A = this chain, B = another copy of it.
């Protein structure tokens, strides 16, 4: 990208080397197996320099996904635009499907993000911008669903979105995948059955 007005040349070079090194190591050994130290060595910088730029592995993972994340939200926006007429529950399902596709592709990096996030002081969830944006989106859809329901429910849209999001976290999702043997499709189905009032 364009040199951000004030990023030193050497810093920019290092940044690129970090990203390249991390990507290579991650692909070769898997995100979980690679330590920040290894990345620092591979990138030929000191650990301090690495941590100066990325407070933890999660931030690095996030950086590596940045473009894909932007793409994801563009897809979502596009889908939402093209399906304005659909019911809120149908649109929720659509958005979920898009996210699940993303989650499948970026499983490892996503996990890397969540692990460091929860390790750090701050509790996690609201941390990652991904989840924050998704949350807002879900709240909107839940509220809309509630508004168009026959009988009003005391169910809080924010709460429902929170729970849905934790169900989409790496921990929960991988568990359904690897232990329960679900496919993305059956997970989507079950999520809809759980979070969307009876059809």
Q: Which residues of A contact B (CB under 8 A)?
A: 118, 123-126, 151, 153-156, 158-160, 162-163, 166-167, 169, 171-172, 174-176, 178-180, 182, 189-190, 193-195, 197-198
Interchain CB contact under 8 A, A159 and B190: yes
A190 cross-chain contacts in B, Cβ below 8 A: 155-156, 159-160
Chain copies in the assembled complex? 2
Question: A194 and B123: CB pair below 8 A?
Answer: no
Contacts of A154 on B, CB cut-off 8 Å?
189, 193
Instruction: Give the 5 A-B residue pairs with the shortest CB-CB distance, closest first.
Output: A155-B193, A159-B190, A166-B172, A163-B167, A166-B166
Majority-rule SS of A interface residues: helix
Smallest CB separation, A102 vs chain B (Å): 20
Q: Give which listed residue, B158, B163, B171, B195, contacts A118 with CB less than 8 A.
A: B171
Bound: A179/B124 CA distance, A: 11
The closest CB in chain B to the CB of A122 belongs to B179
Q: From B123, B174, B179, give the contact of A175 (CB < 8 A).
A: B123
The one of B159, B171, B198 in contact with A166, judged by C-beta atoms closer than 8 angstroms, is B171
Q: A155-B194, A193-B155 given as contacts; is B163 within 8 A of A172 (CB)?
A: yes
> Contacting A158 at CB < 8 Å: which of B123, B180, B193, B197?
B180
Q: Given A171-B166, A174-B123, A179-B123, are A197 and B197 neighbors across the interface (CB < 8 Å)?
A: yes
Q: Among the listed B123, B155, B194, B198, which residue makes an inter-chain contact with A159, where contact means beta carbons less than 8 Å apart?
A: B194
Structural contact, B162 and A175, CB atoms closer than 8 A: yes
16 contacts between A and B (CB under 8 A): A123-B179, A125-B175, A125-B179, A155-B193, A155-B194, A159-B180, A160-B190, A160-B194, A162-B172, A163-B194, A166-B169, A166-B171, A166-B172, A167-B167, A197-B197, A198-B198
A180 to B166, CA, bound (A): 14
